[in-house]
Structure 1
Amino acid sequence: MTSAATTWIKSILPRGLLGRSLLILVLPLIILQLVSAYVFYGTHWDMVTRRLAAGLAGDIGAVIEMMRTFPGEQNRATIFAVAATTLDLKVSLEQGGILESTGVRGMGPGVRPDLSGHSLEGNLTGALAERVGRPVYIDTETLERDVEIKVQLPNGVLDVRASRKRLYSPTTTIFVLWMVGTSLLLFGIATIFMRNQVRAVRRLAAAVDSFGKGRDVPYFKPQGAAEVRQAAAAFGRMQDRIKLQVSQRTEMLAGVSHDLRTPLTRMKLELAMAKGNGIEDLKEDVADMERMIEGYLAFARGEGSEKSCDTDLVALLEDVVGKLRRDGGQIDLHCEEDLSLPLRPQAISRCLTNLIGNAVRYADHVSVRAGRRQDAIEVTVDDDGPGIAADQREEVFKAFVRLEGSRNPETGGVGLGLTISRDVARVHGGDILLEDSPLGGLRVRLRLPL
């Protein structure tokens, strides 16, 4: 099978678990019914129609034989009356008539071919040839309820009209209705049961997605089949372990912060009272150490124990931009209305401050825009600064990495701003991408899923 055919088959197949499960259940049922229908039409339908056609042809042959054995108009009238009452045939004779054509005129609504290739007209024509042995003309279109059969006799044309019921078996309709009705019933039952099973999978997927976006899932209860319950229980245990790990890390960092800041404070006091050459250099070294430790603690602390809540992102952006404008930044802010979603406000504020602050530090003009993009909210920060080379854009997200040359190392921090920002974005289930800006510098794209 070619790749194009494989791609086309995948495109028409259902993508959801419910659709695929129903397809697995229904497809064998449909195949079974098609096979059953083929066998039914190929054997039962053909056998029944042949017997019905043979019976009708035999009755017509009997009428013709009685007309030959008992000639005369009075006998003929009696034979036609008996045929009408006992054989359900309307028979008349056109004296001296000649058939203009022979064969079958058409196929009416009550006469239908079967899947084996044998039509009812074909069976009737064969039966008449066997039982009557004379030229015949069959009309299945003109009359709505009857089939007209004309037979060429030596003294004229015998016109026979038989009800379609004599040639059509009602078991066909009953069989089709039984198959369709049973299929619909089984399909409905399967849909109800599968929806209940898929609902549990969807609840598990929603819980995992919420937890991946940094939102609490406090009342998640395993439901569904045993395998789904097992996966849900494993997710619950994983959630507890991650929360415990974050809690332990936060408590450890609180102790590390206290232990590191105490000796630094003593060193600063001792340097303040000391005199001599090189004291100022030592003070600068201690200040650099303190700044690096604060940056490291801010990175390791991450989002801390802050809880997610419904947050107005527009108000948060206005607050961050307002503070940076007061520090002299030239920033244009454009936001859509009603950009609310569950966020950790302090963490997102720290992330936005780092991103917009970097742009203000290295550029003369900064443009900030926020709006909805399909199933997420995007915040873009454009600047007209020197930008970052394409091959270095992933490198700057690594901890303690700072770019030399185009970015002045004396004006920046310790190389943790973008690292902390991406960590915050990914905790919310989003990400940060660096691109070329229309302003000529760097574009920072922050994506937060809804």
Structure 2
Amino acid sequence: MPGPASRHRSLPPRKRLSRALRGLLPRGLLGRSLLIILLPMVVLQAVALQAFYGGHLNIISRRLAGGVAGDVGMVVELLRREPADSQGWIFREAAWRLDLNLAFERGATLGPVQPRPASLPLLPLEEDLDQALSERVRLPFDTDWQTDSRSVIIRVQLPEGVLHVEAPRKRLFTTTLYFFVLWLVGTALIVFTVAALFMKNQVRAIRRLAAAAEAFGTGRDPGPIKPEGATEVRQAAAAFNRMQERIRRFIAQRTEMLAGISHDLRTPLTRMRLGLAMLPREAEGDAAELTQDVEEMERMIASYLVFARGEAVEQPRPGDLVQLVQEVAANARRAGADVEVAAPEGLVLPMRADALRRCLGNLLDNARRHARRMAVGVAAVPREAGGHWAEITVDDDGPGIPQAAREAAFRPFASFSGGGTGLGLAISRDIVRAHGGEIVLEESPMGGLRARLRLPV
């Protein structure tokens, strides 16, 4: 059978790309909301930065470099035209009027130009200056950006020697870039902080609503939650509170109605039991059979009432699942069952101990009526969403239930053996689901039926 990797490779390229992009997206609402807010802003900032680099910065850089190169070219031309004894005033005027410090090294020659790493790799200053000097000086030259952090040293090869020109970097560099970058980064940080704080508050309200729904779904009563957050979240919280109240009222009415029915039925059954007890000795044989029927009817009424209540009165508390399973198995052994238990030393989880004891008791009673041997296993298995499940398996060597009929076995009053009330599996599923878990029926390695329970730890 091909694995997930081979199935992924068999997908069309477009679907593979779509799946890869979905894998990169944040899974949480907070991360996705921030991505929706920040991604357009980052794109807008990138467009603005590119426009600045591609337009304004390049134009300003070329103009500043052209100005310095033009001054250097003018000084070079003056030195070439004026006699050597009058070059002093050129040096003084260049320092005063052009802010260029000049020095002449007579008889020197420029060596081969060695490639140097750019001192400002993100800016076009060095390239623009070299281009401007090539156009306006038209003599061999090189530039040095590393020796002095505040100046650029330009060396030009003249016939009599090498002219050293020290130009301040402020003539080639504009501080507008710093302010622009600070503005981009600062506004991005401010927007990100405000969006994160705002969305965190909104997501907190949704998380509280989800936690309350999860608690109510597993049988815990968190009470009404305080509506907070955006209008839609407040509406959802208010609707959840109304739903809780309606469900509580429905359960209470159903329980009270069935409790009344149970009481009304038990009254004539009690009279029948008393009447049977007062029969003469000659009728004890027939009375015994009738007494068994009355006791069976009382057990049925008790089962109906337990099913209607759904064990909702008991509140979950931390308990040792392994100890509870051992107790239920011991009770089944006293009733004549052959039960083996395989479990770790302990497994603590929040549970309704009485309800879970009833659930496991129903499963073992069902297995005992149809099988000779039973085995109960307890283990912790990982959950896909994180954490672990507490898994309980109840196996038997009985005839089992056909696969097509296993789901129907959980319906109330369903019976496949002709015995019992048909409520055992229905009550068991009701209890397991009230814990936030699930129960399924499978084929057992022992040849019969396996009931697999999973409860959240």
Answer yes or no: same fold by TM over 0.5: yes
Shift of 1:398: 1.7
Deviates more, 1:166-175 or 1:286-295: 286-295
For 1:369 and 1:182, the matched residues in 2 are separated by 60
- DSSP-derived class of the 1:400 partner: coil
The CA distance in 1 between the partners of 2:369 and 2:139, in whole Å, is 104
Partner of 2:442: 435
Secondary structure at the aligned position of 2:58 is classed as helix
Kept after mapping to 1: 8 A contact 2:118/2:126: no
Aligned to 2:78: 66
Query: What is the CA–CA distance in structure 2 between the aligned matches of 1:169 and 1:107, rounded to whole Å?
Result: 22
Q: Secondary structure at the match of 2:442?
A: strand
CA contact (8 A) 2:441 2:450 kept: yes
Q: Which runs of 5+ in 1 are unaligned?
A: 114-118, 404-408
> Which of 2, 11, 14 in structure 2 is aligned with 1:2?
14
Offset of 1:75 from its aligned partner? 2.0
1:112-131 alignment, distance < 5 Å: 112-113=122-123, 119-131=124-136
Q: Which residue of 1 aligns with 2:9?
A: none
The residue correspondences of 1:134-153 to structure 2 (distance < 5 A) are 134-140=138-144, 143-145=147-149, 146-153=151-158
Q: CA deviation at 1:236?
A: 0.9
Asked if 1:109 is matched to 2:113, the reply is no
Q: C-alpha deviations, 1:181-228, integer Å up to 9, x for none?
A: 332233222222222222111111111110011001136322222222
Q: 1:417 aligns with which of 421, 424, 428?
A: 424
The size of the alignment, in residue pairs, is 435
Mean CA deviation greater in 254-263 or 153-162: 153-162
Q: Distance in 1 between matches of 2:112 and 2:105?
A: 15
Q: CA deviation at 1:417?
A: 0.9
Q: CA deviation at 1:229?
A: 1.6
Mapping for residues 6-405 of structure 1, pairs under 5 Å = 6-72=18-84, 74-95=85-106, 105-110=115-120, 112-113=122-123, 119-132=124-137, 134-140=138-144, 143-145=147-149, 146-218=151-223, 220-265=225-270, 283=290, 292-337=300-345, 339-373=347-381, 374-403=387-416
1:162-199 C-alpha deviation (Å, 9 max, x unpaired): 34343222322332123213322332222222222221
Whether the 8 Å contact between 1:33 and 1:179 is mirrored in structure 2 is yes
2 CA distance for matches of 1:394 and 1:357? 19
Q: Which residue identity lines up with residue 208 of structure 1 in the other structure?
A: A
Q: Contact conserved, 1:105 with 1:138, CA < 8 A, in 2?
A: no
Superposition deviation, residue 38 in structure 1: 0.9
Percent identity among equivalent residues? 50
Alignment check: 8 A CA contact 1:106 1:139 kept: no
How far is 1:281 from its partner?
Answer: 12
* Distance in 1 separating the partners of 2:97 and 2:346: 85
Whole-angstrom CA distance in 2 between matches of 1:334 and 1:111:
69
Deviation at 1:351, TM superposition (A): 0.5
Q: Indicate conservation of the 8 Å contact 1:105/1:139, yes or no.
A: no
In structure 2, do the counterparts of structure 1 residues 59 and 250 end up closer, same or farther at CA, with 3 Å as the change threshold? same
Is the aligned partner of 1:445 residue 2:452?
yes
The CA distance in 1 between the partners of 2:87 and 2:436, in whole Å, is: 95
